Amino acid sequence: MTDSFEAKGKRLRLVNELRNKGITDEEVLRAMNVVPRHLFIDDAFLVHAYVDKAFPISAGQTISQPYTVAFQSSLLKVKKRDKILEIGTGSGYQAAILAEMGAKIYTIERFRELYLKAQVILRELKYNSVNFFYGDGHEGKPQYSPFDAILITAATKSIPQLLLEQLKVGGRLVAPVGGKGLQEMTLVEKIAENEYKYSGHGSFVFVPMLTGTK
């Protein structure tokens, strides 16, 4: 697993594209310039790795579009040493971006194959602050709660109450909310115990958040 001058050049171009599309969080942009996205894509398809598109990974799932990763990461307002719960490990790329930003990650995946694969790549890249779990993310990880931030990277019809309960007061949850087709990127800010502020941030397309494991 290697990085290359070619990949670095393509990555810088992608980061500039994200900037032009309105991403302003410098820490997010820095992390995306550092993490080698091509290593998260099957067979290291360099040509597909650094265009701003989602791409198929194993198990019929996708690695999110770079713009989407940047957008969700920006909404989370990540601070160093934040404790973040991610639902939907997928390729592990989003977790790597958050780890590069200095956060401690707890990430859950329902597909065993992806759960195993993502760990290999992140270990190789030395992102040791990422903790992996195999299971249904609807339940969250109460034993590690409360979290500074929670990120759902699969489309959910509604935000699970169990996850809202695992958020710190002052914490932020980001999730694409909706059914098939388009979902609304939703930010939930926990103002007080049992008090939440919701805001919508535009339409996105995600694979569905499903129940149970595979």
Q: Active-site residue among 64, 73, 74, 145?
A: 64
Contact pick of 3, 17, 27, 136 for ligand SAH (by CB under 6 A): 136
Stretch 148-187: interaction string toward ligand SAH, x if CB under 6 A: -----xx---------------------------------
Tokens encoding 52: 């701003």
Residue 171 CA to residue 188 CA, distance in Å, equals 8
Q: How far is the CB of 76 from ligand SAH (least distance, A)?
A: 13
**Smallest gap from residue 4 Cβ to ligand SAH (A):** 22
Both tokens assigned to 154: 């699969």
Q: Where are the alpha helices (DSSP H) in the chain?
A: 5-20, 26-34, 46-49, 66-76, 93-100, 112-124, 161-165
CA dihedral 171, 64, 18, 73 (to 10 degrees): 10
- 145 noted as active-site residue: no
Name the minimum Å distance from CB 89 to ligand SAH: 6
Which parts of 37-96 interact with ligand SAH (CB under 6 A)? 61-64, 87-88, 90-91, 93-94
The token duo for 123 is 């270990």
Separation in Å, CA 189 to CA 76, 161, 200? 10, 14, 12
Q: Which residues bind ligand SAH (CB under 6 A)?
A: 61-64, 87-88, 90-91, 93-94, 108-111, 114, 136-138, 153-154, 207, 209-210
Residues recognised as catalytic: 64
